[in-house]
Amino acid sequence: MKINIGTSRVVLVQGDITQADTEAIVNAANTSLMGGGGVDGAIHRAGGPKILAACKAIVSRQGRCPTGEAVVTTGGDLKAKYVIHTVGPVWSGGDRGERELLAKAYRNSLVAARQKGIRSVAFPSISTGAYRFPIEEAARIALGTVREFLEEHPLAEVRFVLFSETDLHVYAAALRER
Ligand code: AR6
């Protein structure tokens, strides 16, 4: 599924984000930036040790990555030249600012992309795996935040790479709602 927002393209696909040919892919990391399970594990495995080395350098310079913030490293052996590591919130019922923090993670990832002159970015579904954010709401926040950003700051393409067909359907429904 594909829509245009001004001159930018928003694309939803099912797949493995480590294979994406966008200029950057986004990692759903944790504040340590030292890798983990889920998409984080997959990205570090596919991209090789250069990514972790770059994460370590960032952490030794500026400390852990707070929830909602984003940092950029090399893409190592990936097709993507860069990995944007962001940290989504852990869902704990919805009254700890989870929605705002999720929006912030998407927004700051796009801000980081723009600062590097990156024109195409692929996102996974941040926070909806190990961090248990309800996916219907997460999809609305993700797509709404991306749309708002692109209306101000066009990019060539923002792609959502959803791991399962079910997740793709949830994002497609959220995109059609608007
Ligand atoms: N490509 C695209 N999406 C994927 C892939 C892949 N290769 N692998 C998994 N997903 P999660 P979170 C989907 O748990 O909820 C890590 O341990 C997955 O199906 O990866 O933000 C970090 O280190 C789900 O839809 O991220 C953190 O500690 C989505 O990616 C913590 O998990 C996000 O699931 C972050 O949890």
Query: Mean pLDDT across the stretch 136-156?
Result: 98
Q: If you take atom 8 of ligand 1, which residue's CA is the nearest one?
A: 39
Fold designation for 2-177: Leucine Aminopeptidase, subunit E; domain 1 (3.40.220)
- The reported pLDDT for the residue numbered 178 is 73
Judge whether residue 154 has pLDDT over 90: yes
Quick one: which atom of ligand 1 is closest to the CA of 131?
15
pLDDT (mean) for 11-22: 98
Could you tell me if 71 and 60 are in contact, meaning their C-beta atoms sit under 8 angstroms apart? no
State the chain's mean pLDDT as an integer.
98
Residue 56, CA distances (Å) to 44, 46, 151, 166 in order: 13, 18, 34, 35
Q: What is the CB < 6 Å shell around ligand 1?
A: 16-18, 28-30, 36-40, 42, 88, 124-131, 161, 163, 167
Find the mean pLDDT for residues 29-37: 98
CA dist., res. 44 & res. 130, Å (int): 17
- With tokens 């990555």, the residue in question is 65
State the pLDDT at residue 109. 99
Distance, CA of 104 to CA of 97 (rounded, Å): 11
Helices (H), 27-133: 38-47, 49-62, 98-115
Please state whether 114 falls in left (phi above 0), alpha (psi between -120 and 50) or beta: alpha
How large is the average pLDDT for residues 100-105? 98
Q: How far is the CA of 7 from the centre of ligand 1 (A)?
A: 29
Q: Is residue 7 pLDDT above 80, yes or no?
A: yes
- Helix 49-62 to helix 38-47 angle (10° resolution) is 110
Percent of the chain scoring above 70 in pLDDT: 100
Q: What is the DSSP letter of 32?
A: T
Separation of alpha carbons 86 and 67, rounded Å: 8
Q: What is the pLDDT of residues 42-83, one digit of tens each?
A: 999 999 999 999 999 999 999 999 999 999 999 999 999 999
CA of 27 to the centre of ligand 1 (A): 8
* Residue of 16, 17, 39 to mutate, ligand 1, most atoms within 8 A of C-beta: 39
CA–centroid distance, 163 to ligand 1, in Å, is: 9
Q: What is the pLDDT of residues 104-136, one digit of tens each?
A: 999 999 999 999 999 999 999 999 999 999 999
DSSP letters spanning 55-84: HHHHHHHH-S--TT-EEEEE-TTSSSSEEE
pLDDT score of 22: 98
Average of per-residue pLDDT across 86-105: 98
167 counts as catalytic: no
